[in-house]
Amino acid sequence: MATPTELAEQPAPRQPAGPKPKKDRTHWLYIMVIAAVVLGAAVGLLAPELGKSLKPLATGFIALIKMIIAPVIFCTIVLGVGSIAKAATVGKVGGLALGYFMIMSTFALALGLFVGNLIHPGEGLKLEPYDTAAAGESNHTVDFLLGMIPGDIAVLPTLVLALLVGFALQSMGAAGEPVLGAVRNVQAVVFRLMMMIMWIAPIGAFGAIAAVVGATGWAAIGSMFILMASFYITCAVFIVVVLGGLLKAITGVSIFALLKYLAREYLLIFSTSSSESALPRLIAKMEHAGVSKPVVGITVPTGYSFNLDGTAIYLTMAALFVSTAMGTPMSLGEQIGLLVFMIIASKGAAGVTGAGLATLAAGLQAHRPDLLDGMGVIVGIDKFMSEARALTNFTGNAVATLLIGKWTGELDVEQNRAVLSGERPFDEALLESSAH
């Protein structure tokens, strides 16, 4: 019989391994889209006529996006109205957070419009929709295949209906919970369908880039580069000047100290092109930085749905790019209408790959349906702008958490100063152990 000492020296029994987490395969989609864009540009430059003939590939993909717009808008707005009601019931924190989110989202959308009108991205491209009537007798097969995709549903009536249904369910209280649960299940199916469509994005991007480069040559590549560079610069200015200015004025914290503190999260977001991957870490780090658990628990998850500053800037800049590229710039009235629509619709542009494209398509369809065919180019360069969107969204939520904590008296200023100065570093082991 083994002595207690011998028993103590024996290795502990190995714990049964839990189920392995599913690998995220969306990084392959990212690589495929980049490869499709490069290949499409090469085909457009080397064989312009072949490139222009590939336009139906982009048209078919945009038709699939149009097909899914109404279900996405309906589900996200119905559930969003319920989320607003739930957040507002928690009192001062929820009210302040929602008010701040609405103001900042509106400001970000307006900033995107301002920059878009300043630089006129897409000018000179003169994109044209695929005209089946003018395509000739030889394209009956293409017309037949495109005709198989279901038609789109009017967006504005869907938006109004979603708002009315949301408010009706809100007024029903507990009796409306089963219906909200059913809508949530439908949303899961819709988002799964959206993800299936996004796996066809490389084909759509290849056709769109080949067609526009084949028609306009290097001018198309230059215009797309200008849009991407302008978007990155606008996001950087928004983070440093707008968010940094607010943070410094209200809490006395430097935005650069906060960026340094969240460096590992930025690396994670940059590698996945999604701020969702860093959500648990942001919650833990904001609590460590001195913000009370209730404030973090309300502000961060709500902000991930309602405080999408980077996405807001992208939506309006991309809309102006498409309208200018197609040679029919939006009037001031149309831009204001787009701004109002996006304030509501952008609240459903988080959490799922492709939802941002669907929201952009919804805004164009609601105000200028003739511009939808120009979205193919955006599909090609959307992935190149996804990192800036995700990083800006993430930073906006981190800043919002500190501001709400300060306004509600739930920010430990001494702890916050010590953490951001590096005196009390975040313990990564605690987060990893809690994750297991």
pLDDT at position 129 is: 60
pLDDT at position 4 is: 44
Give the CA count within 13 Å in the CB-facing half-sphere of 224: 27
pLDDT, tens digit, for every residue of 316-364?
A: 898 888 888 888 888 888 888 888 888 777 665 555 556 677 778 888 8
CATH class of domain segment(s) 75-129+226-435? mainly alpha
d(CA 122, CA 55): 18
pLDDT at position 136 is: 47
pLDDT at position 331 is: 85
Amino acid identity at 174: A
d(CA 222, CA 192): 35
Instruction: Please state whether 240 falls in left (phi above 0), alpha (psi between -120 and 50) or beta.
Output: alpha
Amino acid identity at 357: L
Strand partners, 291: 411
Joined tokens for residue 267? 């690396």
pLDDT at position 232 is: 93
Alpha helices for 120-217 (secondary structure H): 140-147, 155-172, 177-198, 201-216
Angle at 309 between CA 303 and CA 310, to 5 degrees: 120
pLDDT at position 131 is: 52
Q: Are 288 and 420 in contact (CB under 8 A)?
A: no
Exposed / middle / buried, residue 16 (Cβ in 10 Å: 0-12, 13-18, 19+): exposed
pLDDT at position 372 is: 79
Joined tokens for residue 285? 């780090």
pLDDT at position 238 is: 95
pTM of the model: 0.75
d(CA 226, CA 231): 8
Nearest to 315 by CA among 110, 128, 158, 159: 110
pLDDT at position 79 is: 79
pLDDT at position 188 is: 85
pLDDT at position 83 is: 60
Exposed / middle / buried, residue 293 (Cβ in 10 Å: 0-12, 13-18, 19+): exposed
* Residue numbers in the chain where pLDDT is lower than 50: 1-23, 132-138, 433-436
